[in-house]
Amino acid sequence: MPWNSRLDRVAPFRVMSLLEIAQAREAAGHDVIHLEVGEPDFPTPEPVTEAGRDALAAGHTRYTPAAGLPALREAIAGHYAEHFGAEVDPARILVTPGASGALLLASQLLVGAGDRVLMADPNYPCNRHFMALSGAEIDTVPVGDASGWQLDAGLIAGHWREGTRLAMLATPSNPTGHMLDAAQLREVADTVSARGGQLLVDEIYQGLCYDHEPLSVASISPDAFVVNSFSKYFGMTGWRLGWLLAPEGAVEPLTRLAQNVFLAASTPSQHAALAAFTPECRDILETRRAELGRRRDTLLAGLARLGLAPALPPQGAFYLWLNISRYSRDSQAFCQRLLEEENVAITPGIDFAVSGGEHHVRIAFTTGIARLEEAVSRLERFLARR
C-alpha cells in the first residue's frame, strides 16, 4: 500500500540506531558515556513532581479547555512579564502536548502547499519536517561563524524570494547553542515584517543561557509566533508539555486546530507545571543552569586541548557543534567508531545539517563533569589512532 508521499520528506534520526547500539553495549557490560541525547541527567524538580502527585490525588484528570488550563496560561504570561518585561495577554497562549504540539499547530496555520520557509542550516530536523508535512518548501540557509551560527536579518533579506511566507529560527539553537541578542532579534522581526511574512521563533532552550540574560522575541514583536516547552529549562521532558504564543488574531483558528488535533494537553501535567514558576522551583532551576554552564566550560577546555573547540563558544542550550573534518568526512561512521572503540555516544551532524553535516558532530553536555572529563580522555585516545 502506498503511503502519503510527504512522509518521504521526513528523514529518520540516525542517532537512534547509535542509541540502540549504545544500549546493547551497556547491556553487555560496557561503560558507555551518553552525550547523544538532548536530555540532562537531572530529575524533574521535586516541587513539580509533588504538584503532579497532588493533582492526581485531587482527581484533576478530566479534560481542560483546548487552549489549556486558565491558571497555567496566566502563570506563563506572568513569566513573560517578570523575566522579559513582555506584557502578554494569557489569551494569546495555547498550552500544547510538548513543543511538538506547538510546532504542529503553527505549521498547519502558517504554511501550505507551495509556501516557502526560511531556516538556518544546521537546525533541529523536526522543524523542517513539520513544515514539509504541511506541504511547504524548505529553503535552508547555511550559517556559520560569520552570522554567529544564526539566521540573521542579512541572511533573511538575501534569501527571501517570491513565495517565501515564513522565517523560522531558534535561539538558543539546537544543535549549535548559539543565540541572537535583542538588537539582532529586532532586526529580524523588522526584516520579516517589511516583506509581509511571518516570524516563528523556537525558544525551547530560552532559560538555558550562560553568558547573557535570557530574552524573548515576545518583548520585541507582538506579531511573532513563539514556541516554548517545559522540557529543557524546566526539566519536564516526559511530562510532554509546551506552549505556543501567538498574535491575537491567530488564537481562534489555532484553538480550533487544537480542538481537532489533540483536544487538550495532559491535565495532570498542566497542574504540575504550575509549580515550575514558584520561587522554590526557580532556585532549583537556576542552580542547574549554573551547573550546565560549568559543564560547558569543562568540555570546552578539554576540547580546546584537542584542537576541537568551536571558534564561537555556545551561549546557551546544552550542545557543542564540532567540526571533525580533520579526522573524518563521514560523521555517521565517526560516531559509530567512537562508540564501538571507546564507548562514547555522540550525534552525527547529518541529523541536523542539510549541508556540511557529514563533517560535524553534536555533543550534549548532559552528564556530570567527571564523566565529561572521562569522555574527553577517551576521545583523545580515539583521535590519536586516526
Query: What was the pLDDT predicted at 3?
Result: 80
Query: What was the pLDDT predicted at 9?
Result: 77
Name the pTM for this structure. Answer: 0.95
Residue with cell 585516545: 381
The CA dihedral of 273, 284, 215, 212, to the nearest 10 degrees, is -170
Where helices occur in 137-246 by DSSP H, the ranges are 153-159, 182-194
Q: Which of 279, 300, 321 is the last residue of a domain?
A: 279
Strand partners of residue 96: 242
Burial of 249 (0-12, 13-18, 19+ CB in 10 A): exposed
Grid cell of 326 as nine digits: 580533520
8 Å CB contact between 51 and 239: no
Strand partners of residue 164: 116
Q: Which of 233, 257, 279 is the last residue of a domain?
A: 279
Task: Provide the domain limits for residue 334.
Answer: 5-43+281-385
Residues 22 and 58 in one domain: no
HSE of 259 in the Cβ direction (CA atoms, 13 Å)? Answer: 7
Residues 301 and 255 in one domain: no
Residues 94 and 194 in one domain: yes
- Of 229, 217, 225, 228, the C-alpha closest to 246 is 225
Residues 32 and 51 in one domain: no
- In this structure, what CATH number is given to the domain that contains residue 86? 3.40.640.10
Q: What is the Cα–Cα distance from 58 to 267, expressed in whole angstroms?
A: 12
- Could you tell me which residues come within 8 angstroms of residue 124 by beta carbon, excluding any fewer than 6 positions away? 170, 173, 174, 175, 202, 352
Residues 54 and 38 in one domain: no
Residues 324 and 205 in one domain: no
Give me the average pLDDT of each 10-residue run along the chain (386 residues). Answer: 75 79 94 93 97 98 98 98 96 98 97 96 94 95 96 98 97 97 97 98 97 93 97 97 98 97 97 98 98 98 96 96 96 95 96 94 97 98 92
Residues 34 and 50 in one domain: no
Residues 244 and 330 in one domain: no
Residue with cell 516570524: 199
Query: What was the pLDDT predicted at 12?
Result: 76
Query: What was the pLDDT predicted at 1?
Result: 60
Query: What was the pLDDT predicted at 318?
Result: 97
Residues 299 and 275 in one domain: no
Q: Which of 279, 308, 332 is the last residue of a domain?
A: 279
Q: What is the Cα–Cα distance from 380 to 386, expressed in whole angstroms?
A: 10
Residues 362 and 214 in one domain: no
HSE of 1 in the Cβ direction (CA atoms, 13 Å)? Answer: 2
Looking at the 3D structure of the chain, how many domains does it have? 2
Residues 147 and 205 in one domain: yes
Radius of gyration of the chain (CA): 21
Residue with cell 542517532: 15
8 Å CB contact between 121 and 143: yes
Residues 18 and 136 in one domain: no
Phi and psi at residue 205, in whole multiples of 5°? Answer: -105, 20
- Of 384, 378, 210, 373, the C-alpha closest to 299 is 373
8 Å CB contact between 316 and 208: yes
Maximum Cα–Cα distance across the chain: 59
